[in-house]
Amino acid sequence: MTKRASIASLIPASQDLYRKIVFEIADGIIGIDDHGIIRLCNPATESIFGWQPGELLDKPLEVLLPERVQGFHQKLVASFQSGNTDARYMGQRSATIVGCHKDGTEINLGITILRTAAAGAPMMVAVIRDISDNVRYQNDLKRLAETDTLSGLFNRRAFRANVLQSVSANIANYSSMVIFDLDGFKAVNDRFGHDAGDEVITSFSEVLRNSIRATDIAGRWGGEEFVLFLPNLKHTAAIAIVERIRANFTARDFKWEGFPSANFTVSAGLAVAPPGLADFSDMIASADKALYDAKRGGRDRLVSTEIQEQEALAS
């Protein structure tokens, strides 16, 4: 008996309609025994995961899961098997089940699991749908909603949300907030045109991205102002990063037809919060005040301050 025939034998001959549904439906259908071994697999499942006909039978379910999620998936299955419901959708609103294609790439899946029996033995059946395209589409929409179009950095709302998450995760460490302001930016637009102004914005954004760590969070605050959050850095180290950004930007030459090459400077206000005092509003307010002092002091400079406990209590 072939493997394909053995699959068909699990569905009584009197149920031709159900057999037709299982083998022709676009959704994957897979059944595992109480040892996690695949005993039922329709062609759609093989197509979703990139396996040849019959190859998946008698293999452990883990061949369809990335190694990093296998332990978590086993807990989900065990919880379902010991529960009182006979059907359950796996996954959450903000997360999907991840499967593994035969070539090693990951797939986003929507899965409904059912508890049943075949040939007198318990079986768990999963109805599987590849939702990778939908997940990519939703991620693209989310990225567009969070991104400032010109700079490619976080917009103000997304910057705040990401900083709040970082602050919560790093509450026991130093945190720094920086506000940058491109010096004389209005004159750039007036003298060279708005296309030139856009180029200066995108150029500073590139410098910012290339000068920070993976854990740092950068955004465009509005107009010619940019913001940067630096977790887990004390005052001296934060100053070093800010000064590197300022120097890298000033070193850039801008050349527009009909004008001599130009260089521009940036002022910055830095607020450093000791452990336990990192509050978003306090850091923004302190950094903004420091930036004001830098601009008033002649521009092209950094002014830094450290948030004191009494300041945080007053807010």
d(CA 203, CA 224): 12
Give CA separation, 49 vs 31, 77, 110, 186, in Å. 15, 20, 14, 56
| Contact (Cβ atoms closer than 8 angstroms) between residue 29 and residue 39 | no
Looking at residue 129, the DSSP 8-state letter turns out to be: E
Side-chain-facing half-sphere of 201: CA atoms under 13 Å = 23
Amino acid identity, position 179? I
Q: Is 24 a catalytic residue?
A: no
d(CA 298, CA 18): 79
d(CA 39, CA 44): 15
CA-based nearest residue to 32, from 80, 91, 93: 80
Give CA separation, 163 vs 101, 160, 283, in Å. 35, 5, 11
The number of helices, as runs of H, and strands, as runs of E, in the chain is 11, 11
Amino acid identity, position 67? E
CA-based nearest residue to 175, from 265, 280, 94, 263: 280
d(CA 114, CA 124): 6
**Candidate list 62, 206, 224, 225, residue with the active-site label:** 224
Sequence-separated (6 or more) residues with CB below 8 Å from residue 239? 270, 302, 304
CA-based nearest residue to 48, from 111, 114, 139: 111
Task: Show which residues are catalytic.
Answer: 224
